[in-house]
């Protein structure tokens, strides 16, 4: 059975294929559908954005679609940058986003934050979402070179004082918001009656 993963990232495709090994699913990505329009993401929640992407692609491709949306929520900033994580700073680079985040938290003692990822599955007769979260805190200065985005300024509770950018990819995937959301993919497929 065909399953279209709404990403051009080959790493995500490899991970999902490994997760669904031994099932009848053939995982396609947007690279296999170059004619599809770029999906929008202008919702207020990760759920709304993931569903919007999956619905728009499903409307064109007419095969079951999986899409995800993710970001960082900081408690002292009322959940910002949240759904605006990618474009938090005007420059919208990872370095500028991290610098702006540290500036906003300057002098604040409440450093609580979490990464969030929501996965949406849209099929002909069913749609649903699953959420994964990774709790932690924002450090005072960036540390580490692995990963991407806010990884150098985010210290997950489960990494013993290291930032996400100081973890290996295997360590990150075991505790990350994305790993936890994608781990629920078989459950979503079962609820959709596909597994």
44, 69, 140, 157: which is the annotated catalytic residue?
69
Q: Is residue 70 a contact point for ligand IMP (CB under 6 A)?
A: yes
Helices (H), 63-168: 94-104
**Rounded CA gap, 106 and 100, in Å?**
10
Q: Is residue 21 a contact point for ligand IMP (CB under 6 A)?
A: no
> Least separation, in Å, of the C-beta of 149 and ligand IMP?
2
Can 42 be counted among the known catalytic residues? no
> Least separation, in Å, of the C-beta of 97 and ligand IMP?
6
What residues pair up with 73 in beta bridges, in sequence order? 81, 114
Q: In what order do the strands lie in the sheet with 65-74?
A: 26-29, 2-5, 65-74, 112-122, 127-138, 154-156
Q: Is residue 148 a contact point for ligand IMP (CB under 6 A)?
A: yes
120: number of CA atoms within 13 Å, CB side?
A: 24
> Least separation, in Å, of the C-beta of 24 and ligand IMP?
28
Q: Is residue 71 a contact point for ligand IMP (CB under 6 A)?
A: yes
**Rounded CA gap, 161 and 164, in Å?**
10
Terminal alpha carbon distance of the chain: 10
> Least separation, in Å, of the C-beta of 90 and ligand IMP?
14
Q: Is residue 147 a contact point for ligand IMP (CB under 6 A)?
A: yes
Q: Is residue 86 a contact point for ligand IMP (CB under 6 A)?
A: yes
**Rounded CA gap, 35 and 48, in Å?**
24
Residue closest to ligand IMP when measured from CB atoms: 149
Q: Is residue 152 a contact point for ligand IMP (CB under 6 A)?
A: no
The region that residue 103 occupies, defined by phi over 0 for left and psi between -120 and 50 for alpha, beta otherwise, is: alpha
Which stretch in 11-19, 121-129, 144-152, 184-192 sits in contact with ligand IMP by CB under 6 A? 144-152
**Active site members:** 69
Residues that bind ligand IMP (CB under 6 A): 69-72, 85-86, 97, 115, 147-151, 176, 178
């Amino acid at each position: 059975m065909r399953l279209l993963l709404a990403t051009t990232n080959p790493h995500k495709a490899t991970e999902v294929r490994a997760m669904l090994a031994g099932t009848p699913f053939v995982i396609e990505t947007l690279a296999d559908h170059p004619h599809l329009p770029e999906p929008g993401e202008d919702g207020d929640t990760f759920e709304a954005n993931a569903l919007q992407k999956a619905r728009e692609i499903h409307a064109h491709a007419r095969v079951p679609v999986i899409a995800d949306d993710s970001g960082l929520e900081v408690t002292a900033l009322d959940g910002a940058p949240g759904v605006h994580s990618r474009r938090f700073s005007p420059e919208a680079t990872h370095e500028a986003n991290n610098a702006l985040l540290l500036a906003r938290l300057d002098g604040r003692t409440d450093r609580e934050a979490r990464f969030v990822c929501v996965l949406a599955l849209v099929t002909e007769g069913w749609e649903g979402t699953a959420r994964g979260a990774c709790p932690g805190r924002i450090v005072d200065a960036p540390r580490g070179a692995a990963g991407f985005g806010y990884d150098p300024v985010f210290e997950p509770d489960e990494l013993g004082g290291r930032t996400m950018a100081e973890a290996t990819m295997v360590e990150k995937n075991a505790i990350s918001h994305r790993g936890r959301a994608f781990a629920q993919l078989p459950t979503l497929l079962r609820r959709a009656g596909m597994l």
